[in-house]
Structure 1
Amino acid sequence: MSILHRAVFTTSAARLDQLPAPTTAEVCFVGRSNSGKSSAINALTNQRRLAFSSKTPGRTRLINMFGIPDPVEPGAFLGFLVDLPGYGYASVAQQAREEWADVLGAYLRERSSLAGIVLLIDIRRGVTELDRRLADWVAPTRIPVLALLTKADKLPYGQRVRAAASVKKELADLGALTALPFSATHRIGLEEAGAHIENWISPKVVP
């Protein structure tokens, strides 16, 4: 069983100073509003309702953390999955968008326990201007990135492969980047993405 399947909700925070101390590996999920972050987290953890998505896009303002319990040390965690607020929803007030951008940018640049970033991109849209802006925040940190190209079931296999190659080319400055066609509903790329994230959290669990 994947260690991700043991994930439990741990905490929500509106600001970085409300997060627990950065003591163990964190893997964050980030993407446009309605990019499928909650669906991806639920699929990867094999849980239906671990992560919730707001019915009104752009309204989720909290950083939600899901801990992976340590099987050896009770009460301790191997690492955390971190669901960051979505970005780029047009109807949200400009000031609110800027505040969220500040929180996102600060987390991505300053969180010392951040071991990997899962960037969700709609495979049919490709890299948008907002995705590019996010990549510009990430690039100087040299933190590895897994780009999950969601809604991959909407395209035939050949187009998926070309889309992944295009994303890798557009985001080449990120360095350690893996682009993976992904569908939570059709389980495309699920095992490979799970193994990638496990290795960031606890390298010893992946051969």
Structure 2
Amino acid sequence: MSLLHRASFTVSAARLDQLPPSSVPEVCFVGRSNSGKSSAINVLTNQRRLAFSSKTPGRTRLINLFGLPDPLNLDDPEARLGYLVDLPGYGYAAVAKQAREEWADVLGGYLRQREALVGVVLLIDIRRGVTDLDRRLVDWITPTKRPVLALLTKADKLPYGQRMRTIFSVRKDLADIGALFTVPFSATERIGLEEAGEIIANWISPKVVP
């Protein structure tokens, strides 16, 4: 069983000061509204509704943490090997400007300040490529020198040749990220599932073999 399959909901937070102490590794998931973030988390953890999106895209503003139990300390249900962190989606036009700015402050603050963060999963709709909003997010991430896994979601929507060209284009657009992994991904067709899962699990615990 993959380490990620053991994930369970732990806590939600509206502000950074509501998060638990930075004591174990965290891998965060972030992407535009409608980029397929919730679907990716669910398929990677082999669960149907661990993560879910609002019926109104862009309305979910909580940071959700999913704990991964420590296999060496199963007697303690509170012991965590790490967390998967679902950050709010960004860039939805229907959200008021002030709310978007507050939202951006939370996202940027987490990415810049969270000491436990060991890797970032950036979800990009493969049909859109890297947007201006994605670029803004990358500008927050790059100075931290944390590794990034760019999951190019909805990869099944493009023919193979176009998919490969888009991967090359995204790698070029994100070249300033030092440690970058680029994986075409589809939650429905399970494209890239194993590769992405292994990268994330190794960020949490290099000693764990999925």
TM-score band w.r.t. shorter chain:
over 0.9
CA distance in 2, matches of 1:206, 1:49: 25
Match for residue 66 of structure 1?
66
Q: Give the number of equivalent residue pairs.
A: 207
Structure 1 stretches of 4+ moved >4 Å: none
Identity of paired residues, percent? 78
1:120 to 117, 120, 123: 123
Aligned to 2:53: 53
**Structure 1 counterpart of 2:21:** 21
- Partner of 2:79 in structure 1? 76
Q: CA deviation at 1:19?
A: 0.2
Contact 1:165 1:179 in 2 (8 A): no
The SS at the match of 2:207 is helix
Return the alpha-carbon distance in structure 2 between the equivalents of residues 161 and 194 of structure 1: 20
Counterpart position of 2:180? 177
CA–CA separation in structure 1 for the residues paired with 2:58 and 2:129:
20
Q: Does 1:199 align with 2:206?
A: no
Aligned-pair CA distance for 1:72: 1.7
What is the aligned partner in structure 1 of residue 31 from structure 2? 31
Is 1:89 the counterpart of 2:96 in the alignment? no
Contact 1:14 1:61 in 2 (8 A): yes
Q: For structure 1, which runs of at least 5 residues remain unmatched after alignment?
A: none
* Residue-by-residue CA offset, 1:15-55 (whole Å, 9 max, x unaligned): 00000000000000000011111100000000000001100
In 1, the alpha carbon distance for the partners of 2:133 and 2:208 equals: 34
Distance of 1:23 and 1:200 partners within structure 2 = 15
Mean Cα deviation higher: 188-197 or 149-158: 149-158
Deviation (angstroms), 1:206: 3.7
Provide structure 2 residue ranges, at least 5 long, that are not aligned to the other structure: none
Question: How far, CA to CA, are the matches of 1:164 and 1:177 in structure 2?
Answer: 12
RMSD of Structure 2 on Structure 1 (CA): 0.9
Letter in 1 for 2:156: D
Verify the 8 A CA contact 1:28 1:83 in the aligned structure 2: yes
TM-score by length of 2: 0.97
Secondary structure at 2:103's aligned position in 1?
helix
Aligned partner letter, 2:8: V
**What residue number does 2:137 align with?**
134
Q: Structure 1 residue 99 and structure 2 residue 102: aligned?
A: yes
Give 1:177's aligned amino acid: L
